[in-house]
Amino acid sequence: MHTEHANPEVAAAPARPRIDRRTLITAALATGAGAAGAAAFTRAPHRSPAGPPPPAAVPFHGARQSGPTHPQLPVTRLLALDLPGDAGRDALRGLLASLGAVLAGAADGSLGDARLTGTPPVTSLVAVGPGLAGRLRLDVPEALTELPAFAGDRLEPARGGGDLLVQLAAEQPWTTGILTEHLVTAAGRAGAAVRWSQAGFLPPAAGGETPRNLFGFKDGTANPAPDDPGLWGPPGPHADGTVLVYRRIRMDTAAFAALPKERRDLVMGRRADTGAPLTGHAEHDEPDIYAKHPDGSYVIPATSHVRLSSPRLDGGARMLRRSWSYDDGPADRGLLFCAFLRDPALFTRVQTRLAERDALTPFLTHNASATAWVLPGAHGGRDLGAGL
Ligand code: HEM
């Protein structure tokens, strides 16, 4: 899965994928947590004799929603909702208010559900799909469109799309499960129906290391910082919003594992053991996609995943990849690819190259897809979706 860089400064935080001090502070500021929240995060590695302090709550209110900005928590739940075709803006306003109330209550512990002890950290996002935006003529960026069909897609409509996407992340499936109950009840009362729902997880990553995906590779090494301005809407009404691209990708883990180790590294363009690019020695060395062997062939092969997804082929444009693995039985395991970017056209360009030439593609099946406008955060008297 794709997450942001590891930071050895917080290596003491076990089983929490890369809680990076700089990212945490950035995230705390971006989500409005301010100095108090940032201080709480940076205290986390210091253990008291009575055991570790409880993980800090993540505020719901902030200029940006916490889902794309806060470091990934190990468990996720995506929930897609549909409104009736004749529902108007009032119905959407009511639905957003109901969902926002649950998410705010989840974040500050005021939900009143005795099963949730303390205030477990929860991150969330609410995003509007292009279909609903078109029906209600909502003010979303023009860039928000459905994705085109890609070669090899095997999309199951019942697993993708949706008028509204909600994504939760927490430390435990217990928490996301209970919160999903509340969200589904609130959505039903506001006239919306569940379209699909999907659970995912990150593996434990010892010492803040980059987590590995189900192919065994470190995944999430090369990523922009969550506050990179290129990911967010331009100044104006769309500032502090971003587009989510979701793909549910089944991975043939047995077939990939059957390749010799050297071949697996060549397919990816990085080494499975260290995560280093084939042109470097350390995980965070910049891949040199133009380096060649004396015989003229590329060191990072022309069909490798890292070469074909390189920002160098897109004028430096980057997406923030924050994905989770999923396991829905022995024949259905893979990656919940989630990327945040200003314009999904970047995803389309990259995925077009991958679908046609990536040596990883024969081991993958894209079986669901969605795009959605991640609303600016509820902040300073502005409700979720106020700008729509
Ligand atoms: C199950 C499917 C996938 C797997 C297992 C996978 C795995 C990986 C791995 C191991 C890396 C190298 C480490 C890193 O920088 O994160 C990587 C990089 C990357 N992947 Fe994927 N990936 C998948 C699907 C996709 C898709 C669908 C896209 C976009 C269309 C994508 C875009 C990228 C990008 C942009 C990079 C970073 C390239 C760079 O900056 O060097 N990946 N992926």
Is residue 370 within 8 A of residue 165, CB to CB? The reply is: yes
Q: In angstroms, rounded to a whole number, what is the distance separating the alpha carbons of residues 12 and 149?
A: 44
Nearest to 118 by CA among 107, 102, 126, 103: 107
With a CB cutoff of 8 Å and minimum separation 6, the contacts of 223 are 2, 3, 4, 5, 318, 320, 321, 322
CB burial of 50-68 (b: ≥16 within 10 Å; e: otherwise) equals eeeeebbbbbbbbbbbbbb
Residue 119: pLDDT band with limits 50, 70, 90:
confident
Residues 179, 168: Cα–Cα separation, whole Å:
8
Mutating to test ligand 1, I would choose from 306, 312, 349, 351 the residue with most ligand atoms within 8 A of its C-beta, which is: 306
Ligand 1 pocket residues where CB is under 6 Å: 2, 213, 215, 217, 219-222, 247, 249, 251, 268, 270, 287, 305-306, 309-311, 319, 321, 334-335, 337, 347, 350-351, 354, 364
What tens digit of pLDDT does each residue of 226-280 get? 999 999 999 999 999 999 999 999 999 999 999 999 999 999 999 999 999 999 9
Which ligand 1 atom lies nearest to the CA of residue 2?
16
pLDDT at 51: 63
Confidence at 117, pLDDT banded by 50, 70, 90:
confident
The C-alpha atoms of residue 388 and residue 374 are separated, in whole angstroms, by 12
pLDDT at position 48 over 70? no
State the Cα–Cα distance between residues 338 and 248, nearest whole angstrom: 9
Centre of ligand 1 to C-alpha 371, Å, is 18
Percent of the chain clearing pLDDT 90 (strictly above): 80
**Averaged over 127-149, what is the pLDDT?**
97
3-state SS of 21-56 is HHHHHHHHHHCCCHHHHHHHHHHCCCCECCECCCCC
pTM of the entire structure?
0.89
State in Å: Cα 305 to ligand 1 middle: 7
Q: What is the pLDDT of residue 201?
A: 97
Give yes or no for residue 339 having a pLDDT over 90.
Answer: yes
CA-based nearest residue to 67, from 296, 367, 376: 376
How many Å apart are CA 264 and CA 249, to the nearest integer? 18
Evaluate if residue 12 carries a pLDDT over 60: no
367 pLDDT higher than 60: yes
Q: Report how far residue 277's alpha carbon sits from residue 286's, in angstroms, rounded to the nearest whole number.
A: 7
Q: What are the structural domain ranges in the chain?
A: 8-374
Strand partners, 79: 166, 197
Indicate the burial class of 203 (C-beta count within 10 angstroms; 0-12, 13-18, 19 or more). Answer: middle
Minimum CA distance residue for ligand 1 atom 7: 219
Q: How far is the CA of 278 from the centre of ligand 1 (A)?
A: 15
Distance 224 CA to ligand 1 centre (A): 13
Please report the atom of ligand 1 found closest to the CA of residue 311.
40
Q: Name the residue with the closest Cα to ligand 1, atom 42.
A: 309
How far apart CA 126 and CA 38 sit, in angstroms, is 23
pLDDT band at 200 (very low <50, low <70, confident <90, very high): very high
Instruction: Tell me what pLDDT residue 26 has.
Output: 38
Whether 358 is catalytic: no
Phi, psi of 384 (to 5 degrees): -60, 125
- Report the pLDDT averaged over residues 5-12: 28
Instruction: Kindly tell me if the per-residue pLDDT of 59 is higher than 80.
Output: yes
Mean pLDDT of 211-228: 94
| Most trustworthy range by pLDDT among 18-22, 45-49, 169-173, 204-208 | 169-173
Pairwise CA distance, residues 13 & 73, whole Å: 13
Q: How many CB atoms lie within 10 A of CB 15?
A: 12
On the question of pLDDT at 324 being above 50, the answer is: yes
Q: How confident is the model at residue 207 (pLDDT cuts 50, 70, 90)?
A: low
Structure confidence at residue 33 (pLDDT): 36
CA distance 66 to 171: 15
Q: How far is the CA of 342 from the centre of ligand 1 (A)?
A: 18
pLDDT of residue 312: 96
**Closest to 2 (Cα-Cα) out of 305, 363, 358:** 305
Q: How high is the mean pLDDT of the chain?
A: 88
Question: What HEC string does 210-253 produce?
Answer: CCECCCCCECCCCCCCCCCHHHCCCCCCCCCCEEEEEEEEEECH
User: Which residue out of 219, 265, 343, 358 is catalytically annotated?
Assistant: 219
Atom of ligand 1 nearest to the CA of 287: 41
CA of 306 to the centre of ligand 1 (A): 7
One-letter amino acid for residue 195 of the chain:
R
Res 23 pLDDT > 80: no
Task: Judge whether residue 6 has pLDDT over 80.
Answer: no
Residue 42 has a pLDDT of 31
Nearest atom within ligand 1 for CA of residue 364: 1
If one compares 298 and 35, the residue with the highest pLDDT of the two is 298
CA 309 to ligand 1 centroid distance, Å? 7
Compare 54 and 110 and report the one with higher pLDDT: 110
* Closest CA to ligand 1's atom 36: 309
- Reported as type and span, the H/E element at residue 133 is helix 130-135
Probe target for ligand 1 pocket from 212, 266, 309, 310, with the most ligand atoms within 8 Å of CB: 309
For residues 105 and 97, give the distance between their C-alpha atoms in angstroms, rounded to a whole number: 12
